[in-house]
Structure 1
Amino acid sequence: MESGMRTAAPSCGVCSEAFWQRFSGRQEARMLELMGYGLVGSILASVLASLYLGLPYGRYSTSSFGPPVPARFAWTVQEAPAFFIPLMLIVCSNGARLGFWPNLILLAFFLIHYANRAFIYPCLIRGGKPTPAIPFFMAFVYCTYNGYLQGRSLSNYAEYPSDWLTDPRFILGSIGWLSGLLINLHSDYILRNLRKPGETGYKIPRGGLFEYVTGANFFGEIVEWFGFALASCTVESTAFAISTMLILGRRAYMHHCWYHTKFEDYPKSRKILIPCIF
């Protein structure tokens, strides 16, 4: 697929090629790498802070983290930037790498996940708890930052050899991405259907990888993004995978402790996040 097949960008404002050319080049490529390191550092700091402040969402949230935001609205608005910003970059920037299949496929991987997370998943929520305003805003900032980071890297800077689609790293990474996505979707389905119509309260998840780990949905998403990182082989994608592991690993640990406290019959053999290991 030749780069000459790209659609020409509009000629004015943010969607002008001249506007984006001002920021492109080695300096921006280095800036994107530094943003990747910054992503990991900021998430590590927030995870460490949560050891003292607690987790600010879901069953652990309190009014001290701000007024409640309806769950469906919160999920859609906070996740949508990770979908729309890469699309904006595809349409508006010069997109030097958009004529190459590896870049397009990897961008598609990213967009498929966030299309589900921003537009499908919220519609399927059954009585989700409201999200406090502070974590809602933090999630919005994270998705905006990461949407630009991944979108700009893949559309303009990530370069791959001509045989990258047959490279073992791309193949194994793509399999990991798809496997993680399917695990995540199936685990979300199990969680949505724990309660019958009219029932309230919490129940022990059963089925799928929940028979082996407490955080089956989290495990799936971590596998998904480490697969994406392997297929991409960029600092930016690796930073995203590590930040995902930090965020969801902390949540899985808290869920595991909570379930053991809440349910005396909670399976003792279940691990926290990684089957048979942790």
Structure 2
Amino acid sequence: MDSLLSSLFSLEKQELHILNCMAYFMMVMAACSFVALLFDKVPYGRYASSKYGFPVNVRFAWFVQELPAFLVPLCLVIWTSCAKTSLPPNQLLIAMFFCHYVQRSLIYPFLIRGGKPTPFISFVLAFVFCTYNGYMQIRYLSHYAEYPAHWVSHPCFITGSVLWLVGWLVNVHSDHILRNLRKSGETGYKIPTGGMFEYVSGANFLGEITEWAGFALAGHSAHSLAFATFTTVVLTSRAVAHHKWYLAKFENYPKNRKALIPFLF
């Protein structure tokens, strides 16, 4: 893989420049997505529509679309000369990324019960994003990211790491609650309860947003910030849409429950 990257980028400075441009482009796409999502919902799950292409089996879609975010980083770490992977901050940040995507690509899809098919266009866009982001995050962390001595004891790194862990736990626990809403043979939607769902409609989204906000704080780079920003834009839109949908569908939906931020929003 080193030879492939060398053929694409004659100088390391050139590749770093490209990685930086990728981060800035993701920020631009986050802004564009923010505007677009004011007029439409992210088209998968309960908002899936045939206008976004033919349906793809939900388990297959989740497995394939998330897999590049695991496989691309794995190839970069194993088959390239990783100049920075011996450093503790880089190791821990890479581990955070892998931990999320091992769960999301290799475990989560096979736990899905039912679920509406994913429109083909949504599936392709998710696949492209995971490939793009997987390369950007891990290539930067494994080959270019430089941190001050003892960065792992810096308040930003410690706070970010704690936020990441809390967010990851909330995300995984919330997914568990959603999977177990219906008993075997039951169909239809139910009101989620327990965990952070007692406070917000988008508990799983809150968990993932918190994860990547913590990752961005600990990583202290344009690349991690771009990822956290894009994730926040997309998942905030989805949390708000879910909240409105729940309120419209269930007369007994808890009125004190917020969309995404407990007691506030």
TM-score normalised by structure 1 residue count: 0.91
> Of residues 38, 49, 72 in structure 2, which corresponds to 1:62?
49
CA deviations over 1:188-215 (Å, ceiling 9, x no partner): 0100010111110000000111010010
- Map 1:116-195; keep pairs closer than 5 Å: 116-195=103-182
- By how many angstroms is 1:226 displaced? 0.6
Evaluate the alpha carbon distance shift between residue 248 and residue 104 of structure 1 in structure 2; reply closer, same or farther with a 3 A threshold: same
**What amino acid sits opposite 1:259 in the alignment?**
Y
State the percentage of identical aligned residues: 55
Structure 2 partner of 1:87: 74
Whole-angstrom distance in 2 between the partners of 1:275 and 1:31: 39
CA deviations over 1:165-188 (Å, ceiling 9, x no partner): 111111111111100000001100
Secondary structure of the equivalent of 1:227? helix
Evaluate the alpha carbon distance shift between residue 24 and residue 107 of structure 1 in structure 2; reply closer, same or farther with a 3 A threshold: farther
Secondary structure of the equivalent of 1:201? coil
Whole-angstrom distance in 2 between the partners of 1:212 and 1:166: 32
Evaluate the alpha carbon distance shift between residue 23 and residue 142 of structure 1 in structure 2; reply closer, same or farther with a 3 A threshold: farther
Secondary structure of the equivalent of 1:126? coil
Is 2:24 aligned against 1:37?
A: yes
Whole-angstrom distance in 1 between the partners of 2:204 and 2:186: 22
Whole-angstrom distance in 2 between the partners of 1:55 and 1:33: 27
> Of residues 249, 255, 258 in structure 2, which corresponds to 1:262?
249
- By how many angstroms is 1:23 displaced? 4.7
**What amino acid sits opposite 2:46 in the alignment?**
R
> Of residues 31, 39, 64 in structure 2, which corresponds to 1:52?
39
Secondary structure of the equivalent of 2:84? coil
Structure 2 partner of 1:199: 186
**What amino acid sits opposite 1:50 in the alignment?**
L
In the alignment, is the contact (CA less than 8 A) between 1:17 and 1:92 conserved in 2? Answer: no
Evaluate the alpha carbon distance shift between residue 262 and residue 149 of structure 1 in structure 2; reply closer, same or farther with a 3 A threshold: same
Whole-angstrom distance in 1 between the partners of 2:106 and 2:257: 32
Whole-angstrom distance in 2 between the partners of 1:135 and 1:206: 28
In the alignment, is the contact (CA less than 8 A) between 2:33 and 2:233 conserved in 1? Answer: no
Evaluate the alpha carbon distance shift between residue 188 and residue 170 of structure 1 in structure 2; reply closer, same or farther with a 3 A threshold: same
**What amino acid sits opposite 1:120 in the alignment?**
I
In the alignment, is the contact (CA less than 8 A) between 1:17 and 1:93 conserved in 2? Answer: no
TM-score normalised by structure 2 residue count: 0.95
- By how many angstroms is 1:95 displaced? 1.6
Count of residues paired in the alignment: 265
* CA RMSD between the two structures: 1.6
Evaluate the alpha carbon distance shift between residue 112 and residue 18 of structure 1 in structure 2; reply closer, same or farther with a 3 A threshold: closer
Whole-angstrom distance in 1 between the partners of 2:220 and 2:137: 12
Structure 1 partner of 2:198: 211
**What amino acid sits opposite 2:48 in the alignment?**
S
Query: Which blocks of at least 5 consecutive residues in structure 1 are unaligned?
Result: 1-13
Q: Which runs of 4+ in 1 moved over 4 A?
A: none
